[in-house]
Structure 1
Amino acid sequence: MAKWYINPHIKKGHIHKELQGHFSEHLGRCIYEGLYVGEESPIPNKKGMRIDVVEALKNIQIPVLRWPGGCFADEYHWKDGIGPKETRKKMINTHWGGGVEDNSFGTHEFMELCEQLGCKTYISGNLGSGTVQEMSEWVEYMTFDGLSPMAALRTENGRKKPWRVDYFGIGNENWGCGGNMTPEYYGNEYRRYQTYVRSYQPDKTIFKIACGANGDDYAWTEGVMKTTYTNAQKQLHGFMDGLSLHYYTVPGTWEHKGSATLFDEKEWYTTLKKTLYMETLIKCHEEIMNQYDTEHKNAIIIDEWGTWYDPEPGTNPGFLYQQNTMRDALVAAINLNIFNKNCNRVRMANIAQVVNVLQAVILTEGKEMVLTPTYHVFDLYKYHQEAELIESHIETKEIGVGEEQVPNLTESVSLGQDGKLHLTLANLSIEETYPIEGLFTDTQILSAEGSILKGNMRDHNTFEEKEKVKLEPFTKIKIVDGQVHFEIPPCSVVHLALGID
């Protein structure tokens, strides 16, 4: 029996809701067909936004949405996406699949989508191929409430009241598709560009995010931190509020990543082992940041994460469309538990991507919509949003195939705004059930209810079988002498809500 030690009296940090954020890029069918179909579409929509997708995302309490990229961001020129749709520029999306980008989804449409979702906005600005003036004017266009050329242009395009920009990324992957820069060069460019990303609304300060590393490129973090902190005013903490980190779980190589649905037990454990590497990345990048940011004011923003497999056979390889199995559900649970445990430094995370691309939470095909196993994990974890992280630890053992070994269990616990303890636990084993004993320090458990996501390792939902993987009530919970006993099935993720005294 695995003992799960939980001390509700020790709060370890605050779990910002943005840890469960999402990412949307002009890539494949994420924006067009996924989120946006246009007002003339026979698919039910509100101002062009798919009603079914919006409602599904609202159910998991989507907290923040990143847009317009990704690599697309550093070739996106925002003025192409405003004004009458019939006069907007058309272009080929050379980054992703060679499709036509007609710019019918631009700034106004993104802000409308976020208003319908009730979520915060995260804009990625064009540092790679754009100008300081272009970025400055975009911020002015979106947020300035007064007499100015960009505010007047916004009004002319039908929106007098400014929007709120919560987060602004100054460039994306500038070590690669965003310009192939050195960290020192990018650091100096960041310092210049961010100067003109002004917070025009005193009560609504824009959170500025610098481009961080790709995986374990610690030299990039070192170079950017050193450059932005040199001669920087201490109160500006390096001119930034956050530094991004991108890490994808790729079971194979970048040339042959592996199939989303056809994999064996060894690939299962390889995938989960590579996912667990996220913990090491956070700790190592944080250690470098601490050398410069001694007051720990800069957050880590993991604004691209998730699984990346070979595209589904028969689809445009540039569209990055892949299926989503219980393996992806476990990847999501591992990452979300890691983010919770590191919430003192990790402020936001954005899974890639929200619809129809990579580890999507939703798939669409025409008027049809499917919720993926990853979607259901976010549904389980939404109770952690804006909760207090509680000290917890569970006994584990190593499992796997050959050298591909992982701990059998991963967990996190929070005290929610509803006064309940919220426990999330994932069983990484393909076939073994584990009995669990929850031990609570100086706390009586009065009630327990739960939900579970479970299945075989390759199980996934299709447009023909939409609910093969779905949430079910988890009722086999016993409270004995104020403690909790249950068994967690193989290949599953559980959420428990406990009433406490």
Structure 2
Amino acid sequence: MTKLVINPSKKQSKINKEIYGHFSEHLGRCIYEGIYVGEDSQIPNKNGMRTDVVEALKHIRIPVLRWPGGCFADEYHWKDGIGPKETRKKMINTHWGGVVEDNSFGTHEFFELCEQLDCEAYVNGNLGSGTVQEMSEWVEYITFEGVSPMADLRKKNGHEKPWKLDFFGVGNENWGCGGNMNPDFYANEYRRYQTYVRNYHPDYPIHKVCCGANVDDYEWTSEVLKTTHNHCLKELHGNMDGLSLHYYVHPEGWEIKGSATDFDDKVWYKSLNKALFMETLIERHGHIMDEYDP
């Protein structure tokens, strides 16, 4: 008889909790109605967040939550989502359904959600259609504690103390919905934008995330890293803390996504098989990364 013995005291590696992070994009009913219903809703809520959804998310112990996208991030202008809700600009969500968004869920609401979930915050900045100043001022608004225009504006809007920002994505899917950029062009934009994503708290550094490749586009990874490290002062090589990788598992293909709840064993095993490709992607992109940061 074969025996399998588990020795809990012998640990060979550590799984970072952030691997199990989650993603909250303005997509369908994910934000409005799904997470956020507003303070005056008849649906039970705490400061606008649905209590049933928050409790469910607490149960699975979300370690980190990303917002506002996804593709939505590169058309989101954060100043439209602060201040009195009745004066916030309405916008068309051109990526997901062409619906009208009233911006009642913005920066303050996102950090309220993170506080209720007791999770790390991951904000994705707008590089595709935004400006360096816009991105820089958002980081200042969120994290700066002293006297400054953006810190004063945050206080005016009702939040005296800054929030802790754990991760900041400098653009998203910029090879596609984030601007249809070539890798060298994006990399130069990344270098410029990230320069002004300031770490105002040395004890709580913001981890900057660069837009990585679409699935197995190894050329993107190679060209982006080549450009970000070219003629870069040695002490500035730390301008990137992470490189995102975009891979979705669709058992029947991108156009036929199927049901999230109604599927048979065949579809289940096909999904698992496709998920295993992630290991190959990490290994191959990792080899390229090692050339610049072993």
The TM-score, its normalising length taken from structure 1, stands at 0.57
Rounded to whole Å, the distance in 1 between the matches of 2:84 and 2:229 is 43
Gap change, CA 1:144 and 1:2, over 3 Å in 2: farther
* 1:229/1:238 contact within 8 Å kept: no
Q: Which residue of 2 aligns with 1:196?
A: 196
Letter in 2 for 1:276: L
Q: Which residue of 2 aligns with 1:305?
A: none
Deviation at 1:167, TM superposition (A): 0.4
Spell out, residue by residue over 1:276-325, the C-alpha distance to the aligned partner (whole angstroms, 9 max, x if none): 1111111111111111112xxxxxxxxxxxxxxxxxxxxxxxxxxxxxxx
Q: Which residue of 2 aligns with 1:223?
A: 223
Q: Which residue of 2 aligns with 1:251?
A: 251
Q: Which residue of 2 aligns with 1:270?
A: 270
- Equivalent residues, number: 294
Deviation at 1:198, TM superposition (A): 0.2
Q: Which residue of 1 aligns with 2:38?
A: 38
Rounded to whole Å, the distance in 2 between the matches of 1:5 and 1:276 is 26
Q: Which residue of 1 aligns with 2:52?
A: 52
SS at match of 1:122: strand
Q: Which residue of 2 aligns with 1:163?
A: 163
* 1:120/1:166 contact within 8 Å kept: yes
* 1:225/1:238 contact within 8 Å kept: no
Structure 1: which 5+ residue stretches go unaligned? Answer: 295-501
Matches within 5 A, 1:60-75: 60-75=60-75
Deviation at 1:16, TM superposition (A): 2.1
Deviation at 1:65, TM superposition (A): 0.6
Structure 1 residue 206 corresponds to structure 2 residue 202: no
Spell out, residue by residue over 1:421-450, the C-alpha distance to the aligned partner (whole angstroms, 9 max, x if none): xxxxxxxxxxxxxxxxxxxxxxxxxxxxxx
Deviation at 1:13, TM superposition (A): 2.7
How many percent identity over aligned positions? Answer: 73
Spell out, residue by residue over 1:199-256, the C-alpha distance to the aligned partner (whole angstroms, 9 max, x if none): 1112111000000011111111111111111122334435200000111101122223
Letter in 2 for 1:43: I
Gap change, CA 1:237 and 1:4, over 3 Å in 2: farther
Structure 1 residue 113 corresponds to structure 2 residue 136: no
Deviation at 1:10, TM superposition (A): 4.7
Instruction: Detail structure 1 runs of 4+ shifted over 6 Å in the superposition.
Output: none
Structure 2: which 5+ residue stretches go unaligned? Answer: none
SS at match of 1:11: coil
Letter in 1 for 2:208: K
Spell out, residue by residue over 1:107-139, the C-alpha distance to the aligned partner (whole angstroms, 9 max, x if none): 000011111111110000000000000000000
Task: Name the stretch that deviates more: 221-230 or 256-265.
Answer: 256-265
SS at match of 2:245: strand
Matches within 5 A, 1:260-299: 260-261=260-261, 263-294=263-294
Rounded to whole Å, the distance in 2 between the matches of 1:129 and 1:66 is 19
Rounded to whole Å, the distance in 1 between the matches of 2:292 and 2:238 is 8
Q: Whose helix proportion is higher, 1 or 2? A: 2
Rounded to whole Å, the distance in 2 between the matches of 1:148 and 1:263 is 54
Deviation at 1:53, TM superposition (A): 1.2
Rounded to whole Å, the distance in 1 between the matches of 2:124 and 2:114 is 15
Rounded to whole Å, the distance in 1 between the matches of 2:268 and 2:55 is 32
SS at match of 2:22: strand
Gap change, CA 1:229 and 1:6, over 3 Å in 2: farther
Letter in 2 for 1:278: M
Spell out, residue by residue over 1:130-149, the C-alpha distance to the aligned partner (whole angstroms, 9 max, x if none): 00000000000111111111
* 1:21/1:65 contact within 8 Å kept: yes
User: Which structure would you say has the larger Rg?
Assistant: 1
Q: Which residue of 2 aligns with 1:460?
A: none
* 1:81/1:103 contact within 8 Å kept: yes
Rounded to whole Å, the distance in 2 between the matches of 1:10 and 1:220 is 39
Gap change, CA 1:3 and 1:193, over 3 Å in 2: farther
Matches within 5 A, 1:277-426: 277-294=277-294
Structure 1 residue 12 corresponds to structure 2 residue 16: no
SS at match of 2:247: strand
SS at match of 1:97: coil
* 1:228/1:238 contact within 8 Å kept: no
Spell out, residue by residue over 1:73-129, the C-alpha distance to the aligned partner (whole angstroms, 9 max, x if none): 000000000000000001121110121100000000001111111111000000000
The TM-score, its normalising length taken from structure 2, stands at 0.95
C-alpha RMSD of matched pairs (Å): 1.7
* 1:81/1:106 contact within 8 Å kept: yes
Matches within 5 A, 1:435-474: none
Rounded to whole Å, the distance in 1 between the matches of 2:222 and 2:3 is 40
SS at match of 1:219: helix
Rounded to whole Å, the distance in 1 between the matches of 2:268 and 2:141 is 47
Rounded to whole Å, the distance in 2 between the matches of 1:268 and 1:115 is 35
Deviation at 1:61, TM superposition (A): 1.6
SS at match of 2:244: strand
Q: Which residue of 1 aligns with 2:90?
A: 90
Structure 1 residue 183 corresponds to structure 2 residue 191: no
Deviation at 1:188, TM superposition (A): 0.6
